[in-house]
Structure 1
C-alpha cells in the first residue's frame, strides 16, 4: 500500500508529521510505502522551517491513500494542483483524507457533497456556510465516510490516522502504535471535540486518572462509583465530574469502550468462544458482548473480525 501525504507552502510541521508518526517504521517494514509529495521540492513550513520533499505532487497519483494535512488558511482557495490530485485519487477509488482544515480542500474538490464530514470546531460554521451540500458534524473528532475521511483539529489528526491504521493493519497494530506514541487508543470518532480534559492538577485528579488507567488495563473489573470514590478519597459527585472531564462521558460508557478494545485484542489473537471472550473482557455474557459491539461499531464481533481479516 502507498500513502501520499501532500506538503504545501506554509504547511504546519505538526500536521505534516502526524501521519508520518503513525505510519512510521513498523508500517514501512511491512512492505508499505509512505511518500511526502510536495508542490515543489523545497517547502517553507510555518515556524520558519524549510522542508525538502523527496516526491513531486504528481507522485500522489500512485497512492492508495492521499492525505491533505490541514491547509494554511480556511479563507484561501486550495491550489489547483492539489485539487486535481484529490479528485483523481477519488476517481480511482483511493481513500482521500482531510485532516483539520484539509476538509476545506476536500469540500472544494467536491468530494464531500452529500457526505458527513468534520473539521476544526472553530471553522465548522464557515465550512457549512461555504459548502451547504456537506453534512457537517462539528462535534466529531473524525468522520469515516468510507472512501473519504475527515478529522477535527491538531491532536484529532492522530486519532484519525490511528483509525486509518486500524483499517489497514488491524486494531491490534493501531493500539500498539498508540502505546508507542503515548496516546489513548480508545478515542472513537464520535467523541466530542469540546470537552475539558486538563492534565491532573490536584492529588484527587491524579488518583482518579490512575484509577482509569488501571481500569483500562483490567476492564473485567466492575467498580461502582462509591468504590471509586473511596479509592480516590473524594465524593461520588467529584468522581463523576473528574471522569467526564477526562473521558468526555460517563464511567459506564468509558468502561464499555475499554471492554470492547480488550475483546478486539482477544479476537485478533485467534481465541475462540464468544462466551469466554466476553467474560475475559468484562462482559457478563456473549449476548452483552454482541450488544456492545452493535451499539459502538454497528456490527457483531464475528462481523468485525471478518472485516479485519479482509482488510
Structure 2
C-alpha cells in the first residue's frame, strides 16, 4: 500500500481519492474547498493545509485540476509539488492539459529527481464514481509500471500510449470524438421533437443500432429530462476543444467537423452555459432552430 497525496478533490478527483482509501492506501487530500476535503476525511482519508504538507511524505502524488495553468501552479512553485516531494516520488497527473505543457513538466520533474506520468481520464463523473474510467497514459514504461497499481483502482481500461505528452494527445482525440457525438445527439433529438415522434422510444431504438454509443446512453437521458447538472462542464470541454484544435493546427491536420463543434462550444460559453453539463449543447441547437428552451434544472 502507498501513501498518496491527492490534489484536487472535485467532481472527478473526490471519488477517485475515496476509491484509493477503500483500496487500503493512505490518502492525504488537498483542495481549496474545505467541504471536499471533509468528504475525504469522512471516507477514511486525511486532509492537509497546504500542498507541501500533502506531498512531503507521499510515495505517490496524484493531481486532478482543470487546466494547464492550474497544473503548473500546483507543480512548479516553491510551495508546490516539485519543490517538496521526495526524490523518486511518482507524480500522476490525471488532469487534461496541453501535450506540450506536459512534456515540459516531465523535463522539469526529471531534473528534480521525480517521475511523472500524464494520465488523463475519460468517463466523466459516472466513470469516477464507479471506478470504470478509461485512462490514457504517457511516460516511460518503468514509470507506467510504477503507477499502474494506482491506476487499476480508479480505472477499468488503462493503456500506455507513448512517451510524456502522449496521454494528453489521446485525451484530446477522445474529447474531439465526444464533442462531435454530443452535438449530433443534440441535433437528432431536436429533429425528432420537430416531427412529434415518441422521443423516448426513438432514442431507445437508436441506441440499439449503429447509432448507439456511450454518449447516447449517458447524455440522452440528461437531454430528455433537461437536467444539465454538470458531470463534465461545457467550460472544460471548451478548454479541451481549444487544445485539440491548436494541436491539430501544429501537426498540419485538418479537423473541419471538430472546428465547427469548437465554435458551438464557444457559443455555449457566450450564452452563459459554461457551468452546465456538456449535454447542454442541446440548448445551442434549440437556439439556432428558434425553438423554445425550457430552463435547465
Query: Which TM bucket (shorter chain)?
Result: 0.3 to 0.5
* TM-score, normalised by the number of residues in structure 1: 0.36
**Larger RCO (CA within 8 A; separation ≥ 6):** 2
